[in-house]
Structures are given as structure tokens and as C-alpha cells.
Structure 1
Amino acid sequence: MASAGTPLTDKAVQFAPTMPIMSPSDFVWHRIKIPSLQKLLFHIMTENNTPTQSADWLISNSVHDLEPGAFALAPQILPIGPLLATNRPEISAGGHFLQQDYECLEWLDRQPPCSVIYVAFGSSGMLKTAHVEELALGLELTNRPFLWVVRPEAIDGAGDWDGFLERVAGRGRIIGWAPQQRVLDHPSTACFISHCGWNSTLESVSSGVPMLCWPYFADQFINQSYVCDIWKVGLRLEEDGKGIVASEEINRKIDRLLGDGAFRESVLRLKGKVWSSAREGGQSHENLRKFIDWIKK
């Protein structure tokens, strides 16, 4: 690795059998396409290594069974996850970037069980106009109900948006922001098209919802590898020769994800491990108790 973080080889690496095989092009800093920011992030990460190694403990919003190889390499990191928002109304409205649309939950109540495609790309992700248009066409091709979170600025420049809304009015709902954990927990939700941010990934696994992965920067490509290659609870959405995820690819992958019961079975098994770890006596629960006892000393 060069001093600026530029990979000297394209040879893939795997740090442990239960960790993804990673191409150097997927390293967190390298996925940021602006060279000056690549170098800055690389140096921030390397400079953080010394204080990280000198810490007695670090806590992580993860679960040991999700990343056993990583935690074996860094025993000072205590996974205490999943750290998820509570469903209590007096708390669930706080800590969000945008106003949540709780009416979408009533809409979900009217949909058949395990039928709805949930689509969300986080608070900062931006899809190119061509991607937005292909995604809309792909959702239309599925002929399935869908709930799509679209921040207003994310649809600027899209083509015949009004025509699309008319064609899917009976089965599609588009909102500005969702109470995501409650959407993923809803029995009508069938799958999650996601950018694979870690919080979204952990929420999806914790809810037992398989994923279609559409990462765009930073750690999201490594998270995608966990989802698709290690846990086997989702599929990649592949770009075509023009760098576009085509509508046909979206439709095909949704059919495969929802038509193969193995994905649902795998994610439900993983969900069980996650919540077993969080319960009293589980590893995350014990790690948190260990950390609290250490603070009290």
C-alpha cells in the first residue's frame, strides 16, 4: 500500500475465513473517488490505529456471530449490538434527519404478508438520474407493492416521474423518510433494496429481511460482501456495461430473492442468533455488562 493509500496490487485479500474476500478497490478510503479525500481518509484511519490499540476497550454496534473473524483479530472490541431504536412512540420520533412518515405503516397494514419491496438509500446517498429512472422502471416491472423512500432532491431531473406515479398508484407508495426499523419489522415487508450502510444492514438482519445490495461508497461494499458472500442473505445488483443497474436486472434479482426460500431461511436463522446474543446471558448482553462493570471500577 502506497503512503497515500493507493493499492500497489489488485490481489484480493481475506483476513479470516469468516470475513469477506476483499479487493483492494473495495477498501473504505479507495471507494471515495476524489483522490484528495482518499488520501485524507486513509491518513485519518491509519492515525487512529495508535489510540485505538492503546484503548482498554472499544464497543461496537455489532454482534459476534455476524463478524467472528473480525472480532478474533481485534479482541479489545466488544460487540454489544444490535443497538436499535425503541418502538415507544415518545422516543421513536427523535434522532432522525428528516420528518418520518408514520402513515406508511397504515399503508403496510393493508398489504399482504411478505409482499412489499422496501427501498431506501440512507440520509446522504444520491442516485444519478439514470439510476432513478431504471429503478422506477424495475419496480414497475415487478408488479409487486413497494414502499420507496425518496428524498426530494434525489429525484431532480428524473424523466416522466408523474407518469410513473400514475402507473403504479395502486400498488406503490413514495415517501420522504420512513420509520425504517418499524417498516423492516412489519410482516408485509418482503425485502430491502439498500445502499448497505451498516445501520441499515444490521436493522435488516435483525428484522429477518433479505436484501438487494446497491452500495455506492466507503464500507458499504464490504457490508455487501457480508450480506451476499458470508451470510448469504441477499444478492448484488450488478451494473451493466454503461455503469447502470438496469430495470431488467432489478426485476430479475427481486424475483430470484423472493422466489428462493433459502434467503428467507438464512436471514431468519441469523435473526435468531442476533437476538439470542442480545438477550440476558447472550454474548452482546454479557459484553455490555462487562463494559459497565469496568467503568464502575
Structure 2
Amino acid sequence: REGTPAVSSNQLDDKDGREEEQVVRGLGILPAQLELSTKELPWLVGDSATQRSRFAFWLQTLRRARGFRSVLVNSFPGEAVTGTAAAEDDDGPQRQAACPRVLPVGPLLVLAGCNVERAKGAGDDGGVAATNINNHPQPCSKNPSMWQADSTCIRWLDAQPAASVVYVSFGSWVGPIGHDKIRELALGLEATGRPFLWAIKDDPSWRAGLPAGYAGSVAGRGKLVDWAPQDDVLGHAAVGCYLTHCGWNSTVEAIQHGVRMLCCPVSGDQFINCAYITRVWEVGLKLGSVRRDVVRDCIERIMGGAEGTRLQEKMDALRQRAVTAEARCLAQGNLRSFVNEIKRDHPLLTQIYNIL
């Protein structure tokens, strides 16, 4: 069937009752090293009927996209970008549109107003982190979240050693992951002996999984908040890694600030994002499970030693591609090109807009 990727099994013998996992082949739009399994596809949510419905939706969306002139992507350019505005902006209406040109336009948010000297990775000097020379936080941008952030997070981070804190958040819309997993994750964080900041919703569906008296037992070293000002937290020099669900916005924010990621995807595109983080960019590790010993060991791997240093070096290089002046100029140029194309090809719409 046209548009359906081929799959090949990588587990033919299923004697243990495990679901057969297959590797997706033939997706030319994705890097070969991504090698997604069928369990990592974005429509695998809910029962089989829901999955079929979601697959049909994605297939229809891709087919309709074939007729687009341009597609704006909230991402940053790769090392070799094709179809950029710089190469095609002057071609005019005669430009052939066999496929849409893909224009990276992000991240457009300039990290202005931040005076953060980051000290990420292994081998820091253990000094106390500070957001600026006066030890007062300078927010990078207004908080776009609909949730009320806990304003005490930054002050708490100010008192922690540089690159020492594990920041944990599963985003604003991910459903509860289960009491057993919450308990194991909590005990794993405690077992590291490292400071951690955990944005965990103040709701029984999440917090009922915490061990009894947990907040008190980790007080001083672990801070639990209902919601954190994430951009400011990730931009703080005390944060050494980010245990994340791999939502795309969270992924981009982590890259903007150069924070290594410990991946725990839950649903949707998070598995694909995780594959990019761990297999393509190599700026993070994937949690094989949330058992306390696995959580502890993975945090130790990412926060120290040769492996942690390598991950940070990869992240630093990726961050340069995303937030340098050159990358921002390209993103802004792509956005201008898109607007200019509309003005050029649809002058009547432009006139109506100007009148309104």
C-alpha cells in the first residue's frame, strides 16, 4: 500500500509471550541510524481501532502535504540542509514544487537577558551555581505555560553546586505513568545521593505513588514542585541532566540550554524524539525501565565519567547548531521567505490583511 512503510521482524521467536517487535524499513525521510521499531511509531496509542484511526489520519496528512509549497518546521537545520529559503527564495513562481521545501524556523526564541555561565558535564569544580553575578535569576523569556510555576525553584538551584542537579519532568499533558513506576523512580532518585528537582503534579494520580514520607526523607537534597519554570530551570548552571518524557518542546529547550537528557518516553512522537536524542545526536541515554537500580545507574552514567563527558561534548556541538547567531539568522530568513512567498503569490490577500 502506497505510503505505508515496510517492516521486518527482529524477533521471530515469541515463545515467552512477548509482543513481536518489528523494525520499520523504507522511511527515506529519516536517518538510517534511527531504525525505529513498530513500538515507537506515533500512532500506537489506545486499542487497535484507535491505532488504525490514527494511522489513517497521519497517512491522509502526509498525502495532503505533497501539494504544499513550503512546510515550516519548529526545528533547527542539520549539517546539510536542502530546500532552504536561501537557496530558493529568488526562484519565484516558476520554482518547481515536486515536493514542499522544508524550512527550519526554530528555535526563534533568542536567549536574550540571560547571563548564565554554564558548567555542564563531568569534572566541574563543585562550586555553587549562580544565574548571574548578582546571584539573582534573570528569566530568559515569559513563561508560556498555562500552569503556575513554583517561583522558589531558582532560589533553590542557586544554592546547589554547578552541574549537580537532576531535573525531572514529564511535561504538562502526559497522563499518569502508574503508582508503581512513580515509586521506583522516586527511590531511584533518592538512591543516587544527588540533588534533584522534580516537577510532579500535586494530584493523587501522580503523588499517591510516592513512598510514605518521601518529601521529608529527601528534604534539602530533593525538591518536589507542582510545576517548574522549565526554561529558566534548564538555563540554570546547577542543572546537570534532564530526565524527560521527550516531548518535542522539552527536547528543543534542553538543546537550547545544552542539557544532557535521560529519556523516558511515554507516548506519541516521544519515542521518535528519544531515538534522535540517543541514536542520531547521541546527547542522552534511554531508561530501559524505571526500576530504581536502573534509574540510579543511568543517572550515574550521564552525570559523571567518560560517558557523561562524551554526551556533554555531543550536546555542546548540537547546541551550537541550534542557538548560534548563524542558526537564528537562517531561521529568521526562512520565516521571511515564507511570508514573502505569500505576498508575492497572493497579493490580494496581502491587501486585505493590510486594510484590516
Q: Structure 2 length normalisation: TM-score?
A: 0.73
Percent identity of paired positions between Structure 1 and Structure 2 = 34
* 1:103-124 Cα distance to aligned partner (Å, 9 max, x none): 2011111111111100000112
Name 1:212's counterpart in structure 2.
262
Q: Secondary structure at the match of 1:29?
A: coil
Name 2:351's counterpart in structure 1.
none
Kept in 2, the 8 Å contact 1:135–1:246? The answer is yes
Name 2:299's counterpart in structure 1.
254
Farther-moved stretch of structure 1 (95-104 vs 220-229): 95-104
Residue 149 and residue 222 in structure 1: after superposition, are their counterparts in 2 closer, same or farther (change >3 A)?
Answer: same
Task: Give the residue type in structure 1 aligned to 2:319.
Answer: K
Q: Secondary structure at the match of 1:65?
A: coil
Task: Say whether 1:275 aligns with 2:323.
Answer: yes
Residue 66 and residue 119 in structure 1: after superposition, are their counterparts in 2 closer, same or farther (change >3 A)?
Answer: farther
Residue 121 and residue 188 in structure 1: after superposition, are their counterparts in 2 closer, same or farther (change >3 A)?
Answer: same
Of 157, 160, 164 in structure 2, the residue corresponding to residue 108 of structure 1 is: 157
Of 34, 42, 57 in structure 2, the residue corresponding to residue 20 of structure 1 is: 34
Q: 1:70: how far off? A: 11
Q: Secondary structure at the match of 1:59?
A: strand
Bigger radius of gyration: 2
Task: Give the residue type in structure 2 aligned to 1:185.
Answer: G
For residues 26 and 197 of structure 1, the distance between their equivalents in structure 2, rounded to whole angstroms, comes to 14
Task: Give the residue type in structure 2 aligned to 1:12.
Answer: V
Number of equivalent positions: 286
Q: Relative to total residues, which structure has the larger helix share, 1 or 2?
A: 1
Q: Secondary structure at the match of 2:262?
A: strand
Q: CA RMSD in A?
A: 2.9
Task: Say whether 1:62 aligns with 2:75.
Answer: yes
Name 1:242's counterpart in structure 2.
none
Of 21, 34, 48 in structure 2, the residue corresponding to residue 35 of structure 1 is: 48
Q: 1:25: how far off? A: 2.4
Q: Structure 1 length normalisation: TM-score?
A: 0.86
Kept in 1, the 8 Å contact 2:69–2:100? The answer is no
Q: 1:220: how far off? A: 0.7
For residues 216 and 118 of structure 1, the distance between their equivalents in structure 2, rounded to whole angstroms, comes to 17
Task: Give the residue type in structure 2 aligned to 1:274.
Answer: A
For residues 286 and 122 of structure 1, the distance between their equivalents in structure 2, rounded to whole angstroms, comes to 31
* 1:34-85 Cα distance to aligned partner (Å, 9 max, x none): 22221221111111123311121111100121896999x9652211111448
Kept in 1, the 8 Å contact 2:68–2:100? The answer is no
Residue 74 and residue 221 in structure 1: after superposition, are their counterparts in 2 closer, same or farther (change >3 A)?
Answer: farther
Give the unaligned 5+ runs of structure 1: 240-244
Residue 118 and residue 82 in structure 1: after superposition, are their counterparts in 2 closer, same or farther (change >3 A)?
Answer: same
Task: Give the residue type in structure 2 aligned to 1:120.
Answer: S
Mapping 1:159-198, distance limit 5 Å = 159-161=210-212, 163-198=213-248
Give the unaligned 5+ runs of structure 2: 10-21, 85-97, 114-138, 345-356
